[in-house]
Amino acid sequence: MFIEYTWLIPVIPLLCFLIVGFLGNKTPQGGGYIAITGAAIATVLAVLVSCEFWTSAAYSDVGYVTQQITWFTLPGGFTLHFGYYIDSLACLTMLFASFIAMLIFVYSLGYMHDEGVRKRRYFGEVSLFLTGMLGLAVSSNFLEMFIFWEIMGLCSYLLIGFWSFNHPDGDAASENAASAAKKAFLVTRLGDVCLMAGLFVLLFAFKTLDYADMFTEEALAAVDPNMIILGSLLIFGGVIGKSAQFPLLDWLPDAMAGPTTVSALIHAATMVKAGVYLTARCFPLFTQCSWILLWVAIIGGVTAFFAATMALNNMNIKKVLAYSTLSQLGYMFLALGAGGYMIALGLEQGNEALIVAGSAGYTAGLLHMVNHAFFKALLFLGSGSVIHSCGTEDMRKMGGLGKKMKITSITMLIGSLSISGFPFFAGFWSKDLIIESVMHASDFGEQTLFLILWFLAIVTAFMTAFYMFRMWFMTFQGVEGVNAHHTHGESPKSMVVPLCILSIFAAGLGFVILFGFDNLISIGENAAGNLQVGSGEGKGFEYITEIFGNVYTWMTIVLVLMAMGIAYLMYSKKTMNPGKFNKNGESRLYHALTMRWWFPQLYDQIAWKLGYGVARGVDFVDKNIIDGTVNGISNAVIGGGEILSKAQTGNVRSYTTVVFGGVVVFFCVILGIFWYMGGL
Amino acid sequence: MFDLPEIPYLLTLLVVLPLIGAIITLFMGNERAKYAKYTAATMSGITLILTFFLLLAKNLSVYSENYAWIESAGLKMSYILQIDGLSILMVFLTALLVFLVTIFSSHQEDKPNYFFALLLAMEVGLMGVYMSADYFLFYIMWEVTLIPMYFMISWFGGPRRHYAAIKFFIYTHVASLVMLIGIFAIAIQAAAGGVVDFSFAAVAIGASAFSSTFQIFVFGLLFFGFAVKMPIVPFHTWLPDAHTEAPTAGSVLLAAVMLKMGSYGIIRVCLEVLPDGAVWWQPAMVVIAIVAILYGAYACIAQKDLKKMVAFSSISHMGMVLLGIACLSEVGVEFAIFLMFAHGLITAVLFMTCGLAHDLFETREIPLLGGLAGKVPIYAAFMMFGFMASLGLPGLVGFWGEFGIIFAFYEYSFSINMIWLIIFCLMSLMLTAGYYLWAMQRSLFGKLTDKIETAHLRDINKSEAFALVIVCGLIALFGLWPDLALGYISDYTSSLVTLGVVI
């Protein structure tokens, strides 16, 4: 009943984009209300569609509903479709994306209040951004998905560069935003190009790109396994770019140059989540070969660790959050990789138990994606509220804001507890399941590797708790900083209400897994024997005994509490001097972290040498060798350099004569040939 | 769809109307000169409307005109106009862009009667090239396009216009000479001692008897002639100069329609008549195409002049078209034709906006610009749209061309067991994004420049916006619904398969 109208879910924000884009300044708030209405309708539709789907027979039978129209055909029997494909993953993604985007749009009313005519551009572009994410979620095939994927790339470029001219903070900030936007687009484009290559490989191998046709046992068995591996790796290349994983992780911290609401949108609801979505979507492909998933896990684990280190000493409130996003995304890939590894082995050996064990990792990854969406949106919007109020992003100039901004400080505390994995907050459940599934995977092969990853994961948990509370204490506790003196106080209602709503979810969302929700996002074989999201078995209340009966859980909890305590002593009570550990910022490690492990330099060097360096060479060859030869020949032939040099000085009559002389002689030659041929 | 009546002599009208327009406009001197633009707009507008009768026609083959022209003992040249899936999009593109460019340049102050007459004269030649089905007529029309463009550059161009104009003329003229030799060769060989008939149909019949050696040799001659026009590295150096010096209207027509004459010729003549030659030359074409794609893209990064950058990007994209053709597969040729059309629309936007830079800011040097998005937001939006379309953003028309061609190339490289070749194509996608974004960053964003006077900048005016909106609309339309264009093309490419030209 509602499922037939799934196509409206991305189309409504698209209409909002067009309306706001063309008429925005004629409507109140520069089209803000239109954008919010669009997101709200999309949310309601998403809820209706999901409810209908999860109660339908299609869900319990095959696990998906799809409908398509033919878009165009390629010679050689390739038909490309356009349509929707609804399964648990699509429902989950569109639910959190549309809901969180709606809250962010409401918040933007207050945050972007002073932007004037630029609000039209802002609300138009964020609506398009939402179109991209929702379209990606409901796409029925890879090509359609790719289009929405790229629309998001475009929107991130436009929004990160929102202040790339006429920046309120001056020219240097404009330059910075312009360069950050370019970097975001180019780095993700590198991934996108990989993804596109992956599509070619898959299209050529499968003769179709429709999920429903590709993800079946028969289709997968009929294709050369090497092509599946190549295609999967290339797709994962796209994921690395979009979700900012190692080694393409450096664009995301720079992307902080955009408005804070945009960061919230990119980090919580859209963009970087697309990569997690795609990995989860491609599980039937990835699980054809276990070592692909091993790589997913390795890249996830390494990113989680590296990104967390860079957050430890950063003074910019938004950058700390940016690194935490990278780190949490790393967790998601770690979970998907570890779970998928077990599933792949299970499929290989025909071992049902292994698939069920792997499904827990998959569930943990998706659950963390949703949890992260809520707490990261909360944290970014909270930091936006702080920045809005005291006009700086430097945490050293904040401090003691807790009294002046009560609601912001409490909601931020909830977000920090959630991301740190403090017991019973949303982040606790998913993070614990992730760490547990990595441990579990080590039982089935590659033991050392998974133990290393597990170690990285708990160290990251420790670091996360430390840098989040460092941020919270530096901002809200302690002595009032320079900018904390003259704040506007608490932010307006339009900003505070979304914070409160988000904090409810950030606190309590984890409990849903206990009540059968985990069923929906588990993975298993459906009735037809194909790997399908939502067809696995949930554990429900078993999780409680499983989590709390595990010694490693307690170990993690202790580590998190220790980290929080250290942060408290260092930045609130100030009895512990952080300078002791980093030699007052002189240590080499501290330097490495400040330099972001030299990633930006590496990128710049590559771009400069491979791009501009070669370009200069080509330009030289073009000007001097190729064009020089042409001019040389023409000079030699037409008359010792006189003609072209005359032409350069502009001696009009002589070269016109030459041209017409040339034409006349030429036609005479033709006539001569004709005459010779006996034609005339 | 719609039931439109058949118009008699439609194809001839498409050639003759602009010709009449050109003659009328030419004689509107002195005080009547300011009305020249209305004449030009009317005539090109009617021509454009007439092309819709072609686009919506159920059966294109009814539009065919055939009259004997020169007939003597040993020679037969005819006036044959025909239209098929290959030419119809080019004809539409020509009619559309001449009309829009006329509107776009409606503020032409300097000798407007000559200016618009030259535009219409160019339309005559272009229409003729794309519709003629007789090699001799084809050649004449090919030369006809040269002369108005030469005067366009040398009368209305920039400071180095004389140099650029004569270089353009001589370079492409030499190439057409070589092409002419090739044409004579195939016509004479096809006649096999009988009456030398230049019509496509007659040559096609005779072509089946061509020996491989002959095909390989003549393919080389013709390919050179067409490659200069496309242009293909290393025969491209006339293009950046011509573009930099030509007025905006000239650049648009040059890049959007004239360059396509080269790739049109390769498909129409080289592929259709000399399939064995094509197979022999295939590896060479692939290598040349890849070199052109990367060379053009790299050269773009180093350019400081906006228009020169776009000129080099045309070289890169036409290399992509050649790559599609070189795959010698149905997908490849189909999307090569699609990219020709797509690139025509996109470069129109690019050259309109980059040409406008000179009118608005009095310079096109990127280092002198900066932060202009705040001053001229509408201009910036169009420029960004054009750049995004050109870098192959999905949902816009350019993406499908590149997608199809790279897919075809993937198939080809798979068949010869060298999948890694595809990396070069993918690299070009990165480079393209790189130079466009970098150019935008330096010209539109960042600190507002203090190197030029920015206090009284005007934004785009209505007639310029009109032209840009229509092209941008079409870019989005064909991007969302590529089948609109692919429908015409696939009819043609499947006929190539029947001929055994492509697989």
Does residue B469 belong to the interface with chain A, where contact is any CB pair within 8 Å?
Answer: no
Does one domain contain both A405 and A461? Answer: yes
Q: How many domains does chain A contain in total?
A: 3
Pair B215, B251: CB distance under 8 Å: no
pLDDT at residue A671, rounded to an integer: 62
* One-letter identity of residue A175: E
Task: Please give the full DSSP string across A450-510, using - where no structure is assigned.
Answer: HHHHHHHHHHHHHHHHHHHHHHHHHHHSSS--TTTTT---SPPHHHHHHHHHHHHHHHHGG
What Å distances lie between residue B501 and A188, A300, A532, A612, B492, CA to CA?
A: 40, 50, 45, 41, 12
- Tell whether B388 is covered by a domain: yes
The shortest CB-CB distance from A76 to any of B331, B446, B447 is to B331
pLDDT at A41: 93
A626 vs B contacts (CB less than 8 Å): 233-234, 236-237
Digit-coded pLDDT (tens) for A536-587: 777 777 777 777 778 888 888 888 898 888 888 887 777 777 766 666 666 7
Instruction: Determine, yes or no, domain membership for A240.
Output: no
> Are residues A269 and A366 located together in one domain of the fold?
no
Name every chain A residue with its beta carbon within 8 A of the beta carbon of B497.
75
CB within 8 Å of A672: residues ≥ 6 apart = none
Number of domains in chain B: 1
Give the model's pLDDT for residue A679: 44
Contacts B407 to A, Cβ<8 Å: 74, 200, 203-204
Q: How far apart are the first and last CA of chain B?
A: 31
Q: Is residue B425 part of a domain?
A: yes
Q: Quick one: A263 and A313 in the same domain? A: no
Where is pLDDT greater, at A236 or A22? Answer: A236
A399 compared with A153, residue with greater pLDDT: A153
* Nearest-CA distance A522 → chain B (Å): 32
User: Does A103 share its domain with A195?
Assistant: yes
Structure confidence at residue A656 (pLDDT): 54
In the predicted model, is pLDDT for residue A670 greater than 80? no
Cross-chain residue pair A619–B73, CB shorter than 8 Å:
no
Q: Residue B325: which residues within 8 A CB-CB, separation 6 or more?
A: B263, B266, B267, B271, B285, B332, B333, B336
Residue B85 domain flag: no
Domain match, A498 and A646 both: no
Q: State residue A636's pLDDT score.
A: 67
Task: Check CB contact of B303 with chain A, cutoff 8 Å.
Answer: yes
Q: Check B237 against A627: CB less than 8 A apart.
A: yes
8 A C-beta contact, residue B441 and residue A178:
yes
Phi, psi of B370 (to 5 degrees): 150, 140
Predicted local distance difference test score (pLDDT) of residue B257: 92
More confident residue, A597 or A5: A5
Q: From the list A164, A171, A644, which residue is nearest B166 (CB)? A: A644
Rounded Cα gap, residues A281 and A68, in angstroms: 18
> In this complex, do A644 and B446 lie within 8 Å of one another by their Cβ atoms?
no
- Both A516 and A490 in a single domain? yes
**Considering only CB atoms, which chain B residues are within 8 Å of A677?**
74-75, 188, 196
Average pLDDT score over chain B: 88
Cβ contacts of A615 on chain B, cutoff 8 Å:
298-302
Nearest CA in chain A to B176: A666
> For residue B302, which residues of chain A lie inside 8 Å, CB to CB?
612, 615-616, 618-619
Work out the minimum CA distance from B122 to partner chain A, whole angstroms: 18
Among B146, B237, B442, the strongest candidate for a mutation testing the A interface, having the largest count of A CBs within 10 A, is B237
User: Which of A257, A281, A305 represents a domain boundary (last residue)?
Assistant: A281
Q: Do A171 and B482 touch (CB under 8 A)?
A: no
Q: How far is A256 from chain B (nearest CA, A)?
A: 16
Regarding whether A485 and A432 lie in a shared domain, the answer is: yes
Instruction: Kindly state the average pLDDT of the residues B403-415.
Output: 92
Listed ranges A74-83, A623-632, B19-28, B157-166; the one with the highest mean pLDDT = B19-28
Closest Cβ–Cβ partner in B371, B388, B440 for A174: B371
How far is it, in rounded angstroms, from Cα B102 to Cα B107?
A: 10
CA distances (Å), origin A623, targets B159, B234, B241: 19, 12, 11
Same domain flag for A294 and A276: no
Is the confidence at residue B341, as pLDDT, over 90? Answer: yes
Q: Which CA distances in Å does A176 have to A311, B442, B447?
A: 20, 12, 10
What average pLDDT does range A194-206 have in this prediction?
91
Q: Which residues of B touch A182 (CB under 8 A)?
A: 437-438, 440-441
| Residue where the block lists tokens 């989860």 | A280
Contact criterion met (CB < 8 Å) for B188 and A677 = yes
> Three-class SS of residue A139?
strand
* Mean pLDDT score, A594-619: 77
Same domain, A273 and A329: no
- Residues of chain A positioned with their CB less than 8 A from the CB of B486: 72
Same domain, A539 and A555: yes
In the predicted model, is pLDDT for residue A135 greater than 90? yes
- Residue B170 near chain A (CB below 8 Å): yes
* CA distances to B30, B43, B356 from B37, in Å: 14, 10, 19
Q: What is the pLDDT of residues B228-278, one digit of tens each?
A: 998 888 888 889 889 988 999 999 999 999 999 999 999 999 898 998 889
Å between B80 CA and nearest CA of chain A: 19
Cβ-Cβ contacts under 8 Å between A and B: the total is 186
Enumerate the residues of chain A whose CB falls inside 8 A of the CB of residue B166.
643-644, 647, 655, 658-659
| Predicted confidence (pLDDT) per residue in A68-115, tens digit | 888 888 887 788 888 999 988 999 999 999 999 999 999 888 888 877
- Residues 239-298, chain B, touching A (beta carbon < 8 A): 295, 298
Q: Answer yes or no: do A154 and B494 touch at CB < 8 A.
A: no
Give the number of residues written for chain A.
680
Identify which of B196, B406, B429 has the shortest CB distance to residue A677: B196
CB contact under 8 A, B444 and A615: no
Closest by CA to B164, choosing from B277, B80, B247, is B247
Confidence of residue A357 (pLDDT cuts 50, 70, 90): confident
pTM of this prediction? 0.91
Continuous segment of H or E residues that includes residue A81: strand A78-87
Nearest CA in chain B to A145: B394
Strand A78-87 to A64-74 pairing = antiparallel
A675 is in which domain, residue-wise? 602-679
Q: Which residue has the tokens 């816009």?
A: B396
Query: Mutating which of A136, A199, A619 best tests the B interface, going by the most B Cβ atoms within 10 A?
Result: A619
CB-closest option in A147, A630, A677 to B74? A677
Q: Of B173, B430, B497, which has the smallest distance from its Cβ to A662's Cβ?
A: B173
All residues of chain A having their beta carbon less than 8 Å from the beta carbon of residue B483 are 71-72
Interface of B with A in 206-245 (CB under 8 A): 233-234, 236-238
Average pLDDT for chain A: 83
Verify that A395 and A329 share a domain, yes or no. yes
Measured in angstroms, the CA of A287 and the nearest CA of chain B are apart by 24
Tokens of B68: 């004997």
Closest C-alpha to B166, from A99, A114, A504, A650: A650
In a domain, A336, yes or no: yes
CA distance A664 to chain B (A): 12
Q: Cβ separation of A622 and B188 shorter than 8 Å?
A: no
Cβ of residue B454 closer than 8 Å to a chain A Cβ: no
> According to the model, what pLDDT value does residue B459 have?
85
Task: Pick the more confident residue, A170 or B280.
Answer: B280
**With 50 as the cut, is the pLDDT of residue A640 above it?**
no
pLDDT tens digits for range B61-90: 788 888 888 777 778 888 999 998 899 999
Average pLDDT over residues B287-316: 91
Q: Are residues A412 and A501 in the same domain?
A: yes
Is B446–A174 a contact, with Cβ atoms under 8 angstroms apart? yes
How much is the pLDDT for A27? 78
| Chain B nearest C-alpha distance from A644 (Å) | 6
pLDDT band with cut points at 50, 70 and 90 for residue B208: confident
**Residue B165 reports pLDDT greater than 60:** yes
Distance (Å) from the C-alpha of residue B41 to the closest C-alpha of chain A? 28
Residue A195 near residue B430, CB atoms below 8 Å: no
Per-residue model confidence as pLDDT tens digits over B381-392 = 999 999 999 998
- How many of the other CB atoms lie within 10 Å of CB of A95? 18
Q: Which of A642, A659, A664, A666 to substitute to test the interface with B, most B CBs within 10 Å?
A: A659
Domain with B301 in it? 277-503
Q: Which is nearest to A215 in space by CA: A284, A114, A115?
A: A284
Contact A359, A338 (CB under 8 A): no
Is B490 contained in some domain?
yes
Backbone angles phi, psi at A27, to 5 degrees: -110, 160
Angle between helices B462-480 and B85-104 (to 10 degrees): 160
What is the average per-residue pLDDT within A505-517? Answer: 80
Report the residue from B167, B196, B406 with minimal CB separation from A200: B406
Percentage above 90 pLDDT, chain A: 23
Question: Among partner residues A154, A161, A643, which is closest to B393 by beta-carbon distance?
Answer: A154
Contact B166 A658 (CB under 8 A): yes
Report pLDDT for B189: 86
Establish if A243 belongs to a structural domain.
no
Domain boundary pick from A543, A578, A613 = A578
Residue A637, pLDDT above cutoff 70: no
Residue A680, pLDDT score: 41
Residue in A18, A71, A74, A226 to test binding to B, most B beta-carbons within 10 Å: A74
Tens of pLDDT, residues A303-334: 999 889 888 888 888 889 999 999 999 999 99
Pairwise CA distance, residues A133 & A113, whole Å: 25
Q: What is the ipTM of this complex?
A: 0.91
| Banded model confidence at residue A641, pLDDT cuts 50, 70, 90 | very low
CA distance A556 to A412: 22
**Is pLDDT of A660 > 70?**
no
**Structure-block tokens of residue A377:** 């949106």
CA–CA dist A298, A296 (Å, integer) = 6
Distance CA B93, CA B475 (A): 12
Which residues, including other chains, have CB under 8 Å from residue A532's CB and lie 6 or more apart? Answer: A62, A63, A64, A87, A215, A523, A524, A525, A526
Question: How far, in Å, CA of B129 to CA of A143, rounded?
Answer: 37
Closest-approach residue (CA) in chain A for B437? A182
